Amino acid sequence: MIHELLLTFLKTAEKSTNEEGQIQTVQIKSIPPGIMAYMGDGIFELVVRNFFIQQGIWDSKKLHLKVTEFVNAKAQARLLREIKDKLTDEEKTILRRGRNSNAGNVPRNTNVSDYRYSTAFEAVLGYLMLKGDYDRLQVLITLIEEYLHHQISGN
């Protein structure tokens, strides 16, 4: 299942959800993609940090450097391109909404295309979290971890 820290967060979020622990579908569809991406950004960072800590990187400076290698628009866009075919139609719809939303201020060290793709991917993660589809979120977390493992092993 989802990592313990994420589960702890989920339990505190239940107050704003229905009896099944889910935000109503109508409410979810009205949440702006930027808000979904904001939630997804936190999830993605947590997953990547946890992955590298589990790999035994316990020096905070080395951990920070390794995490920032993957928690940036270019790396997230590359990850999305790798796993895009594994997304459901519903997730692809959210992906399009996220990609087509207002990009806002694009950081200087990235291009607009990568920024839009990374924001779109974060929106999918946030959507699944807010929807309460934790099983599907776990599937995507596993795909992220497999991608990271592949990247660091060079296979």
Q: Which residues are catalytic?
A: 41
Helices 33-54, 112-131: crossing angle, 10 deg rounding: 90
**What does the alpha-carbon distance between residue 40 and residue 145 come to, in Å, rounded to a whole number?**
15
Q: Cβ–Cβ contacts within 10 Å for residue 133, how many? A: 18
**What does the alpha-carbon distance between residue 15 and residue 70 come to, in Å, rounded to a whole number?**
32
**Can you read off the two tokens belonging to residue 41?**
């950004």
Residue 58, classed as helix, strand or coil, is coil
49 CB contacts (<8 Å, ≥6 apart)? 63, 67
